Amino acid sequence: MDNLDLDVLKTALAWTEAGRRATLGTVVRTWGSAPRPIGAMMAIRDDGQVIGSVSGGCIEDDLIAQVKDGKLAAKLPESVRYGVAADQARQFGLPCGGTVEMVLEPLTPLSDIRGLLADLEAHKIVKRTLDLETAITRRADAVGADVLSFDGKTLVTIHGPRYRLLIVGAGQLSKYLATMAIPLDYQVTVCDPRDEYQEQWSDLPQVTMSKEMPDDLVIAMNLDRNSALVALTHDPKLDDLALMEALKSPAFYVGALGSKANNDKRRTRLLDFDVSIDEIKKLRGPVGLDIGAKTPSEIAISILAEMTATKRGVTMTRSKSEALASEVSAAGCVA
């Protein structure tokens, strides 16, 4: 859940606690060139004030007017579609063929937004279920397979960080990377068994700190396709332990800091740890896009840029890691 979503929930709660009527809108389905993704949220106050967006401005005016006049979701949640017909798409400025379906929920004590925010502040990933016929909501811990779903009667939404980032090493670069990753919707864990690196993290309570050995933590976290790992210690005894397990996982991104020469040696070492050639090719090392980064903050930006491109399936101009991956020979050696 990104910062805007949290702002929507916090603002909606403040409105209701001040005695105002508020309606929460959530995008549940899109077709064609819809301007906002599934899960996008906005809140509408009884006087027409809003926070968030469900269409990038295309349909908000009509939606606000109908909610304000009590024509939509006056007492119970309901779903509404915009852009089903071509003339409606033109009227509301939706892209050609774009259709947005959303659920509108009038917020009441049954909505328990305060409880949801408390769970999110505790860094939980929450599955929230809304019964449209009764307006009753339930919360539970989400599991990896949980996704937003809507069957016409029940809306299930997932709240909390959608992606996980495990950083091995608690140095200065790691802190820049963690700080920048949090607003990008990552639940960040930093692993470093060395005591001397722990103290500087007290001002980042959103980050989970671990003193476990990196390979044990990678296994315990059960990295999935929404997970990324970046090894930044410069210590092969720690970095390689994490990498040899992470490369065997479905993690969408596995990277390691270091020069080309050091990563050449690393790839060769990993072959001795029962890591296959295909798995080694997944390694992004030297980590990050080659943007000429020098400072820790610039390097963190380059790493997050490459992570974002990988997550979105965007093929970038040949990066350092891609060039090195192609050098892994069929014989298991690095050219």
**Residue 116 CA: distances (Å) to CA of 22, 153, 163, 208, 329:** 16, 21, 19, 20, 51
Q: What is the DSSP string of 277-332?
A: HHHHTTEE-S-S--S---SHHHHHHHHHHHHHHHHTT---S--HHHHHHTTB-TTS
With respect to residue 205, please indicate whether it lies within any of the assigned structural domains: yes
Q: What single letter denotes the amino acid at residue 310?
A: T
What's residue 329's pLDDT? 46
What tokens does 58 get?
Answer: 């295309």
Domain check: are 248 and 292 in the same one?
Answer: yes
Mean pLDDT for each 10-residue chunk of the chain (335 residues)? 79 97 94 74 95 80 92 95 64 62 96 95 87 97 79 94 89 96 90 85 87 94 90 93 95 94 93 92 94 95 95 68 49 40
What's residue 183's pLDDT? 87
What tokens does 286 get?
Answer: 């030297």
CATH code at position 192: 3.40.50.720
Of 112, 138, 159, the residue that ends a domain is 159
Query: How high does pLDDT run on average in the chain?
Result: 87
Q: How far apart are CA 315 and CA 312, in angstroms?
A: 9
With respect to residue 328, please indicate whether it lies within any of the assigned structural domains: no
Is pTM, for the whole model, over 0.85? no
Domain check: are 187 and 317 in the same one?
Answer: yes
Of 135, 159, 183, the residue that ends a domain is 159
Domain check: are 24 and 120 in the same one?
Answer: yes
Provide the Cα torsion 275, 277, 279, 282; round to 10°: 130
With respect to residue 335, please indicate whether it lies within any of the assigned structural domains: no
What's residue 84's pLDDT? 52
Domain check: are 111 and 189 in the same one?
Answer: no
What's residue 120's pLDDT? 87
What's residue 294's pLDDT? 93
What's residue 312's pLDDT? 80
Kindly report, residue by residue over 224-277, the tens digit of the pLDDT.
Answer: 888 999 999 989 999 999 999 999 999 999 999 999 999 999 999 999 888 999
| Count of structural domains, the chain | 2
Domain check: are 154 and 258 in the same one?
Answer: no
Of 159, 190, 220, the residue that ends a domain is 159
What's residue 334's pLDDT? 40
Domain check: are 148 and 173 in the same one?
Answer: no
Domain check: are 150 and 76 in the same one?
Answer: yes
Q: What is the DSSP string of 191-227?
A: E---GGGSGGGTT-TTSEEE-S-HHHHHHHHT--TTE
With respect to residue 118, please indicate whether it lies within any of the assigned structural domains: yes
Domain check: are 98 and 54 in the same one?
Answer: yes
What's residue 206's pLDDT? 83
Specify the pairing of strand 154-159 against strand 163-168: unpaired
Residue 226, domain extent: 163-323
